Structure 1
Amino acid sequence: MNFKTRAITGVLATSLAAALLSGCAGGTPAGQSAPVAKIQLSIPDPLTSSVGVTAQHFADQVKKTSNGSVQVTVVPNGTSFSGDQNAAVTRLQGGSLDGLILSTSVYASVVPEMNGISIPYLFSDTKEEAKFLAGEPGKVLKDKLAAKDTVALAFLTRTGREITNSVRPIEQPSDLKGLKIRVPGNTLWTDFFGKLGASPTTMAFSEVFTGLQTGTIDGQENPIEVPWTNKFSEVQKYVSMTNHINDAWVLALSSKKWDSLTEDQKKALTAASEETATFKTGYDEEQSKKQLDELAAKGMKANELSASGLAEFKATSQSLYPEFSKLIGKEFFDQAIAFTGKK
């Protein structure tokens, strides 16, 4: 081998070594794709619930939009956070949970503006709520969450909350007088139900069925799918279609998990989340009618509010606007009221 040949061989060897070192240092070697990003998405309810079906729909959409580069696994029943929803929010912020779908009423403990979604009788229906969440108010809430190391991919609507109990139908606020109604541990709920004349009682949701069964509480309030999923027809006689409060779900990732993703993966997740938000609004509208029929078939008596009864509920809410404004923050409260045209 002459000098010139040895020199060329040396250059090629050096170039090959540099390429190999580059690959070991974090680059993706030619011919190999980037590693699949794996996300565990925790939810508080069973896979058969509305949020369970929606979470799996999201996982399927992500597989399509990412061409398989992101894999979402749904972890149901609150098992990844031992059923403690407040702890789940903290763990998501800290990055020990990858992703989470949880109610906005729980996030209100760290972002008070979240309660703006739940001003009683703020929305006429879930379609109006969807516009609110997809509009400027929703953007403000996403920014507030981002400051808490939480990347809100999308807000998912829920149908209006209804009241179930075993004492009497609820047709006007006076029918609630003295009834122990389980509510979330959120001041907006306790203020509202206290003003209506009920005895608002906070209780972990895992204890609600037993509480209803033993008479520790008389009733509870939730979207219709909750008494359906949890078989409350076995321990409740009446379901009153009060539609008093809407809340929503936050579909979120921890900032830690989000920052570990490529730009293409982020775009895929965002696209999938937007499609999933549209899916859930339609799915819930269809399912809630079937679920109400099934509850009635199992012996629950359903009633709608009269026009005068509804007016009384709305008047009670409006009388609490000064308190709600302080709880939520005046700026966002005013924005919410202006957006929906409520006074």
Structure 2
Amino acid sequence: MKKFVMALLVGFLVVFSASSEGQKDSADKGITLNIQHNLPISNAWQGGFEYIKEQILKKHPNTKCTIYPNGQLAKGDWKIIFEQTQSNVVQMTCESQVTLATLVPELFALSTPFLFDDMNHLIRFMETEPEYVKKWFAKLEDNNLKVLVYWPRGPRQLLNSKRPIISPADIAGLKFRVPGMDLFITTFEAMGAKPVPLPSGEIYTAMQLGTVAGEDNSLQTIFTTKTFEQGKYFNVWNYMADGVLVVVNKTWYDNLPADFRADLDDIAKESTKVMLELINKGELKAREEMAARGIKFTDFTTAMKKPWIDRMGPVYASVAKTIGEETFKKLKAGAEATRQ
């Protein structure tokens, strides 16, 4: 009798265990994770998303996960990519903090010119997790977008086809393509240049035709989009820090099974280290290849940046007005405290 009861109990446990696993599997089967980004597959963004996909499939093999680079579903238009993420056509995307600042203007403050020395300085600052930055991220949820993780990205540099640009006198009157956002327009006007707002897809042709003399962007982006082919001189001056926000459709995220959501959170955090490695390797390779093809690099020292910083008064006033004077003071203090 005891043997019979024991056998019955073991059988029950086996069935219960199988049933539990089945419930988890069935939850996974219904999960679709479409990821879209707006850069080529050679860019670090693709590598970061491939890592997320690979790790998710290891833990949840029934997930249907597809990555769409180059804004394939949105004709390369970041506004449409956001709309598609908000409406759950895709569930995940990423964009520069300055682009997402079109939805939450306070995010522009993280790209205040000459606030951070380099990418590692920005990372150290973000690791302190300022409360006001958390509040800015949370505001994206009003647009049905949730910040999953903050990725590092190479600082914005300057490419041009005309001449070496060392002092503000060198940039006077030159036309530069900038994103169509007040922060960039105000910054380049303060420098003494003539900003020309254009979509990213038009930069190459605009430089080729001489409509603009150059552009500002990260080193790797300038390389992977091949705009360097139309330039000659390159400032490595880290004038504007740039980070990338990986965002997901909030409704989709909130309705995920708890175990899947927890795994996604952990994997997203782990992907930051992967991104840092990809960016460092990518920028080193990009610089080597661009130099081999005739691009002349100028590396700015702190002293060389000083005349440019002195011109940023109108920009700093604009940022302070957007986020509030007290918060701007905290931002500057936080940047100074994490400077090495």
Fold in common (TM above 0.5): yes
Instruction: Identify if the C-alpha distance between structure 1 residues 48 and 186 changes in structure 2 by more than 3 Å, giving closer, same or farther.
Output: same
Q: Distance in 1 between matches of 2:24 and 2:98?
A: 47
Alignment of 1:292-307 (within 5 A): 292-307=287-302
Structure 2 residue aligned with 1:49, among 43, 53, 58? Answer: 43
Q: Which secondary structure does the structure 2 equivalent of 1:80 belong to?
A: coil
2:117–2:238 contact (8 Å) kept in structure 1:
no
Q: Distance in 2 between matches of 1:318 and 1:71?
A: 50
Structure 2 residue aligned with 1:212, among 191, 207, 217? Answer: 207
Instruction: Identify if the C-alpha distance between structure 1 residues 71 and 129 changes in structure 2 by more than 3 Å, giving closer, same or farther.
Output: farther
1:70–1:265 contact (8 Å) kept in structure 2:
no
Structure 2 residue aligned with 1:89, among 65, 78, 82? Answer: 82
Question: What are the superposed Cα offsets for residues 141-181 of structure 1, whole Å, 9 maximum, x if unpaired?
Answer: 32122232111100111111110011011112221111111
Instruction: Identify if the C-alpha distance between structure 1 residues 34 and 55 changes in structure 2 by more than 3 Å, giving closer, same or farther.
Output: same
User: What is the identity, as a one-letter code, of the residue corresponding to 2:140?
Assistant: L
Structure ID, larger Rg: 1
TM-score in terms of structure 1 length = 0.85
User: What is the identity, as a one-letter code, of the residue corresponding to 2:33?
Assistant: I
Alpha-carbon RMSD across the aligned residues, in angstroms, is 2.4
2:183–2:315 contact (8 Å) kept in structure 1:
no
1:183–1:190 contact (8 Å) kept in structure 2:
yes
Q: Distance in 1 between matches of 2:69 and 2:37?
A: 5
Q: Which stretches in structure 2 are left out of the alignment for 5+ residues?
A: 1-18
Structure 1 residue aligned with 2:92, among 71, 91, 99? Answer: 99
Matched, 1:166 2:161: yes
Q: Distance in 1 between matches of 2:148 and 2:23?
A: 32
TM-score in terms of structure 2 length = 0.86
Q: Look up the match of 2:56.
A: 62
Instruction: Identify if the C-alpha distance between structure 1 residues 40 and 30 changes in structure 2 by more than 3 Å, giving closer, same or farther.
Output: closer
Instruction: Identify if the C-alpha distance between structure 1 residues 161 and 314 changes in structure 2 by more than 3 Å, giving closer, same or farther.
Output: same
Q: Distance in 2 between matches of 1:328 and 1:213?
A: 38
Question: What are the superposed Cα offsets for residues 76-112 of structure 1, whole Å, 9 maximum, x if unpaired?
Answer: 1011222221232233233333111111111111101
Matched, 1:280 2:275: yes
Q: Look up the match of 2:28.
A: 35
Structure 2 residue aligned with 1:309, among 304, 308, 311? Answer: 304
Alignment of 1:210-249 (within 5 A): 210-249=205-244
Instruction: Identify if the C-alpha distance between structure 1 residues 255 and 307 changes in structure 2 by more than 3 Å, giving closer, same or farther.
Output: closer
Q: Look up the match of 1:290.
A: 285
Question: What are the superposed Cα offsets for residues 43-82 of structure 1, whole Å, 9 maximum, x if unpaired?
Answer: 0011111211222122122223x34354432111011222
Instruction: Identify if the C-alpha distance between structure 1 residues 271 and 174 changes in structure 2 by more than 3 Å, giving closer, same or farther.
Output: same
Q: Could you tell me how far 1:198 is from its partner in structure 2?
A: 0.4
Q: Could you tell me how far 1:307 is from its partner in structure 2?
A: 4.4
Q: Could you tell me how far 1:138 is from its partner in structure 2?
A: 4.1
Instruction: Identify if the C-alpha distance between structure 1 residues 70 and 167 changes in structure 2 by more than 3 Å, giving closer, same or farther.
Output: same
1:115–1:328 contact (8 Å) kept in structure 2:
no
Q: Distance in 2 between matches of 1:242 and 1:192?
A: 15
The aligned length equals 317
Q: Distance in 2 between matches of 1:179 and 1:221?
A: 13
Q: Look up the match of 2:140.
A: 145
Alignment of 1:176-187 (within 5 A): 176-187=171-182
2:33–2:90 contact (8 Å) kept in structure 1:
no
Structure 1 residue aligned with 2:101, among 102, 108, 111? Answer: 108
Q: Look up the match of 1:8.
A: none
Q: Look up the match of 1:73.
A: 66
Q: Look up the match of 1:322.
A: 317
Larger displacement relative to structure 2 (270-279 or 54-63): 54-63
Q: Distance in 2 between matches of 1:220 and 1:98?
A: 31
Instruction: Identify if the C-alpha distance between structure 1 residues 207 and 32 changes in structure 2 by more than 3 Å, giving closer, same or farther.
Output: closer
Q: Which runs of 4+ in 1 moved over 6 A?
A: 27-31
User: What is the identity, as a one-letter code, of the residue corresponding to 2:147?
Assistant: A
Question: What are the superposed Cα offsets for residues 206-236 of structure 1, whole Å, 9 maximum, x if unpaired?
Answer: 1110111110111001010122112223211
1:180–1:217 contact (8 Å) kept in structure 2:
yes
Q: Could you tell me how far 1:124 is from its partner in structure 2?
A: 2.0
Q: Which stretches in structure 1 are left out of the alignment for 5+ residues?
A: 1-22
Percent of aligned positions that are identical: 25
Q: Look up the match of 2:330.
A: 335
Q: Could you tell me how far 1:323 is from its partner in structure 2?
A: 1.5
2:159–2:228 contact (8 Å) kept in structure 1:
no
